[in-house]
Chains A and B, each alone.
Chain A
Amino acid sequence: MGFSATVGGTRHGFDDLRQLLACATPFRSGDALAGVAAESAAQRVAAQRALADLPLRHFLSESVVPYEADEVTRLIVDSHEPAAFAPIAHLTVGGFRDWLLAAEPADVTALAPGLTPEMVAALSKICRLQDLVSIAAKCRVVTRFRNTLGLPGTLSIRLQPNDPVDDPRGIAAQVLDGLLLGAGDAVIGVNPATDNVDNLCRVLGLLDAVRDRYAIPTQTCVLAHVTTTMLAMQRGAPVDLVFQSIGGTQGVNESFGVSLSLLAEAHAAALALGRGTLGDNCLYFETGQGSALSAGAHHGVDQQTLEARAYAVARRFRPLLVNSVVGFIGPEYLYDGKQITRAGLEDHLCGKLLGLPMGVDVCYTNHAEADQDDMDSLLTLLGVAGVTYVMGVPGADDTMLAYQSTSFHDGLYVRAALGKRPAPEFEAWLARMGLADRTPEALPMAVAGLL
């Protein structure tokens, strides 16, 4: 079946839901690369009008990637909860936008199991930035492992002490620097320089020893491939959170070397360790627009809709943390600060509406047309939108991954500017350690021994 809308006297037709969603998407380089972007501004707004008139129920009968061919589609269709959908079952996409802008937080939050990724992607395409911000701010998602993340009024930081060769002293110095600047309540998480089991066990041991020695109410993670982490768990390494990069089609997940059944196996193994003290949310996922096209597994679907589908994979496993690495993928997918900003806010909203503890890696690479000013504005917008967490990297410069993310100082800035606080258990720990209000010039004796 087709869709159409008339703009300026010209009728624009769209063959299917996939084309309608792609043409309605605000311009980004990755959709042009895939050959699915609208051919003109008029065609785009026609698609947005047609999309706004589309009943939400339609999304339950037409999939953008075939059910038979894709386990992510099967997950989306088979896990939809009609009871949660009922309050909005009579609405169109445009009506849904209006409903959300007027709704109370509890009503928005309750929708999550009744929403599909394609519904929320469609919604985001007819939202301005302020809509993306204000609707997301109504979503409440709280997760727990050794502390409580996502409470209203909080903003957490992943302490990201990456080292080019996983040198323990380099990692430890960055952990200390981050703790001195109030970072680390979301997770202390290292991207390993090599996906080697010995190395993984060594870094896991280091992070766990630091956390344990100073009784820091947080969790640690080494972001290795899920199969490597499973080997580390078999060796008895202290694994708090299992990490994996995921995408929105079976094909992109295959390119990452994972499937739903493999993730389920890893989830069960992490649950069996029972290391969480306040809760059992024990997975950590990263995503990002463009990964499916990069893997040649996009099925002609626009990158933002596919990104939302990755969140269906994530929510199946009740993760502690999920973040889009929005500016990491490069200019062929998100060309400049404007595209990165919009994508970051779309990803945050879509993840939150689907019930995820959504963070964003506010970041850019040196081949993108972006700079610190763009990051400041996206970070501030996300703070207003209630982002669960952002990254903390010393001086915004990740010396291992060679990109720029938010710094520990940026975390202090956004918390102060918006009146946000760390996770409560971590905030109390900072106060006990004398780190809550200022950074001492001489390290507290309690932590100086770490090096």
Chain B
Amino acid sequence: MTAPTLWRDLRRHTAARVGLGRVGNGLPTAAHLDFQEAHAWARDAVWSTLDVPALAAALGATVVASAAPDRRGYLLRPDLGRSLASGEAAKLAPMPGCFALVVADGLCATGVQAQAPALVPALQAGLHRAGWQVAPPVIATQARVAIGDAIGAALGAAMVAVLIGERPGLSAMDSLGIYLTAAPRPGRSDAERNCISNIRPGGLPVADAVAKLLWLVQAARALGQTGVALKDEQPALPLLPADQPGGR
């Protein structure tokens, strides 16, 4: 390397807001307003909603609602987002010992809408290969992670994976997480789950997320539980090509 590395060149290596420059001790105006714009987009994303009929048709899914009455109620009352609304459990046909897949809007519907149509069939295929009986997917609206416990219990599932929209950040408003819980039933704690996060085009790709979940499912079946006792000792995945454009 002969030319000096410039501060702004750091942006070649990361989507983080590096190399922004400096005016006194503050941010240059353009960088400051870039941030304000990103925050405005993220604020709007929190209030985005799933196109439930389209997603249900694509996945062949059953649709249930949480007990949260609306978005504001969902934000202020997480307990409601963890429970099924009255009567919803009756929509779920029990399938004892099955693997349950739940698709939930969570804190941002955008990434769920975009990625669930690829993720769900890939997981179904892998779980079938591993010998699981997989229940028809369940879409849950205004839902938190723990709604999978109520759904899994209603189905009599041996294990549940909840695919859920993650809280939108400034740089990623399309991110999904997957939470795996063995023997789901209301009252499970977060220490009894394993999580794969940041599934999105610029983060963990769908194929890697599927491979990791299938590894965790197999390890959980061997161990007889999920949670902190189940260590993710899957050999490290090959790294993504990192030269993503850093500019925004």
Contact = CB atoms under 8 A, between A and B. Distances in A.
A interacts with B:
yes
Given A181-B22, A193-B198, A395 B13 contact: no
A197 interface: yes
A169 B26 CA distance: 26
Interface string A375-415: 00000000000000000011111111111100101001100
Interface string B140-179: 0000000000000000000000000011111110010000
B114 interface: no
Contacts of A202: 236
Question: Which secondary structure characterizes the binding site on chain A?
Answer: mixed
Contacts of A412: 22, 25
B91 interface: no
A409 B26 contact: yes
Contacts of B75: 330-332, 367
B46 interface: yes
B171 A399 contact: yes
A29 B76 contact: yes
B51 interface: no
Contacts of A448: 1, 4-5
B245 to A, nearest CB: 13
A196 interface: yes
Interface in A408-431: 409, 412-413, 416
B179 to A, nearest CB: 13
Contact of B172 (A164, A228, A404): A164
Contacts of B234: 196
A196 B45 contact: no
Contacts of B22: 181, 409, 412, 438-439
5 contacts: A163-B16, A174-B18, A176-B18, A177-B18, A404-B39
Contact of B169 (A295, A402, A451): A402
Nearest to A180: B7
A396 B169 CA distance: 11
B53 interface: no
Interface stretch (A18-26, A47-55, A253-261): A253-261
Chain B: number of interface residues, binned into ranges: 35 or more
Interface string B6-30: 1100111111111110100111000
A395 B27 contact: yes
B74 to A, nearest CB: 9
Contacts of A371: 39
A203 B233 CA distance: 15
Interface of B: 1, 4-7, 10-20, 22, 25-27, 31, 35-36, 38-39, 42-43, 45-46, 75-79, 107, 166-172, 175, 187, 189-191, 196-198, 202-204, 212, 227-228, 231-236, 239-240, 242
Nearest to B22: A439
B189 A295 contact: yes
A332 B77 contact: yes
B240 A165 contact: yes
Given A395-B27, A397-B169, A442-B7, A366 B233 contact: no
- Most chain B CB within 10 A, of A167, A173, A295, A330, is at A173
A198 interface: yes
A257 B228 contact: yes
Contacts of A109: none
B175 to A, nearest CB: 7
Contacts of B43: 366
Contacts of B6: 441-443
B204 to A, nearest CB: 6
A79 interface: no
A142 B204 CA distance: 40
A231 B229 CA distance: 13
A33 B77 contact: yes
Interface string A237-261: 0000000000000000011110000
A331 B232 CA distance: 31
B172 A169 contact: no
A413 B25 contact: yes
A130 interface: no
A162 B18 CA distance: 12
B16 A296 contact: no
Interface centre among A162, A198, A330, A366 (most CB of B within 10 A): A366
A8 interface: no
B242 A169 contact: yes
* Those 8 A-B pairs whose CB atoms lie nearest each other, nearest first: A395-B17, A402-B169, A257-B228, A412-B25, A442-B4, A173-B13, A170-B14, A177-B18
B76 A395 contact: no
A395 B169 contact: no
Contacts of B16: 161-163, 170, 173-174, 177, 393-395, 397, 399
B35 A366 contact: no
A177 B10 contact: yes
A180 B20 CA distance: 11
A402 B168 contact: yes
